[in-house]
A and B are shown apart, each in its own frame.
Chain A
Amino acid sequence: MSKNAEINKILDLCLDRVLRKGESVETCLRDYPNQARELESLLRMAIDMCPAGQYTPSPSAKATARMALHRAIQERKDKLSALASPWRSAQVFVSRMLSGQKWALAATTTALFVVLASSGVVAASSNSQPDHVLYPVKRTVERARLVMARDPDAKARLHADFADKRIEEMGVMAAKGDRRRTEDLRQDLELNLNSVRIVVLPDQSIVVAIPPGQAQVPPKGLRPEGRQGPKRDPKQLREMQRFLQSHAQKVDKHYQEFLREASEGGDEEDLREKMQSARQEYQELVEAFQRAYVAQTRESASPAP
């Protein structure tokens, strides 16, 4: 551990002891005499600044917020009960199966997929937008495809494809001035991109909220042990990086198209920011693959001990 990292860790421990456990600064400094001089002023400043940043909401504000949340929970329950249609039942059934046995899950998903496909619903839903009645079908089909994907790379490619769709949908929703859906889609996009990391580069991933069936816990063989990442074939990593690079270019294309059409008015500034954020996320992902590729190439090239 470098000297800097070491002192950062000591400072972090002392901050927890002082701010969260109520120990005195002196007690902490006694335990770290060599770092005491550097630590003291930072700890004292942290103690001073905490009360200055405290804010206690009025009891009425909290009561109002609580009431709004409970009302929303109740409305949601009522809405779910009212939606007990055959379609809803099928959706709930699939959701339940998604948390069950893999063989049962695959069988059910395939059966549902076949039924829906033969009825033409799947085809009709494929171009639906988030404000369309068939959009839930589109997302369910996406989840089903993820469940049926056989290996991590295939899943990662699907996540990247779905990320592209979210970008397109963001454009459509932003053009309609639907900020809420645009933001939801941006978050879904982030989840898809994070899922690519989780599936292929689990050691570089930090898991965030994951829609059911969209992200995968890394397969046992790929889980990192301690701080070591899983071994990957550099060629595969290179291929995946190129694949993602081509997707990043598509994002750029969407972004440019959006900029051309944005002058018509609407919420373009907001979307511009969201699109830029998406481009950056893609770029970070491509760079993560580049780092993994370089690391694995070096490792493969170094002689065995």
Chain B
Amino acid sequence: MSSPKQAQPGAELLAELFETEYERIIRYFYARIGDGAASEELAADVFVRALERIDSFEWRGIPMQAWLFRIAHNMTVDYLRKYSGKKTSPIESAENVTAPDNPEDVALMTIERQELLDAMEGLTQAQREVISLRFFSGLSSEETAQIVKRSNGAVRELQSSGLKNLRRILTVRQQQRVRVQGA
């Protein structure tokens, strides 16, 4: 995340950030809500909302990117609250998932992706947030710390415990599958 850009007027900076952050913000939404089309709409909305409030903000200590992710976080909370019962079909939302050309590989990846999203439901909210930002949006742990408003150490702890929890959940599910197939 850069600092020289901070001297530029907000709207122009936001337009520049759109080019670099749009995909990362979509991936963040996608990891949290599992709906590609909704993620695209929400990501577009993040920038428009940011623009509406750009006059009232100036940046001290953290870059504008972190603010965009904070807005995305708040929108995710609102979205999940509103559509908490909504389940997305993995096939329905698999269209734009980055995947190999081979249809079998695509199917496998779709299943893996759905398993991963299901497994993430077993994490605490803070772990899910950190894992999404680190592994799907590709942020560093320092950037993640600025967004979730925790210390670097706390983020590393959440990352570590989140990964261990995921490993445990995925292992248990794999064992269950093996048992069902064996029966």
A65 adjacent to chain B (CB < 8 Å) = yes
Bound-complex Cα distance A217 to B60 (A): 8
Q: Are B51 and A72 in contact (CB under 8 A)?
A: yes
Bound-complex Cα distance A7 to B23 (A): 31
CB neighbours (8 Å) of A42 from chain B are 160, 163-164, 167
Task: Count A-side interface residues using an 8 Å CB cutoff.
Answer: 53
Which chain B residues have a beta carbon within 8 Å of chain A's beta carbons? Answer: 11, 14-15, 18, 22-23, 26-27, 30-31, 36, 39-40, 43-44, 47-48, 51-53, 56-62, 64, 66-67, 70, 74, 78, 81, 96-99, 109, 112-113, 116-117, 132, 134-136, 138, 140-141, 145-146, 149-151, 153, 156-157, 159-160, 163-164, 166-167, 170
A183 and B78 in contact, given A69-B15, A209-B70 (Cβ under 8 angstroms): yes
In the complex, residue of chain B having the shortest beta-carbon distance to the beta carbon of A1: B153
Partner among B14, B135, B150, B153 whose Cβ is within 8 Å of the Cβ of A46: B135
Which chain A residues have a beta carbon within 8 Å of chain B's beta carbons? Answer: 4-5, 7-9, 11-12, 15-16, 19-20, 41-42, 45-46, 48-58, 61-62, 64-66, 68-70, 72-73, 76-77, 183-184, 187, 206-212, 215, 217, 269-270, 273
Bound-complex Cα distance A248 to B70 (A): 24
CB neighbours (8 Å) of B117 from chain A are 53
Q: Are B60 and A215 in contact (CB under 8 A)?
A: yes
CB neighbours (8 Å) of A20 from chain B are 138, 140
CB neighbours (8 Å) of B18 from chain A are 65-66, 69
Bound-complex Cα distance A290 to B53 (A): 33
Q: List 28 A-B contacts (CB under 8 A).
A: A5-B157, A11-B160, A12-B156, A41-B167, A42-B167, A45-B167, A45-B170, A49-B116, A49-B135, A51-B98, A51-B99, A52-B109, A53-B132, A56-B96, A57-B40, A58-B96, A61-B40, A65-B40, A65-B44, A206-B62, A206-B150, A207-B60, A207-B61, A207-B62, A208-B149, A211-B58, A217-B60, A273-B81
Q: Are A69 and B70 in contact (CB under 8 A)?
A: no
Bound-complex Cα distance A166 to B15 (A): 30
A5 and B109 in contact, given A65-B43, A73-B11 (Cβ under 8 angstroms): no
A70 and B15 in contact, given A55-B26, A209-B57 (Cβ under 8 angstroms): yes
Q: Are A8 and B160 in contact (CB under 8 A)?
A: yes
Bound-complex Cα distance A37 to B135 (A): 21
Bound-complex Cα distance A52 to B74 (A): 24
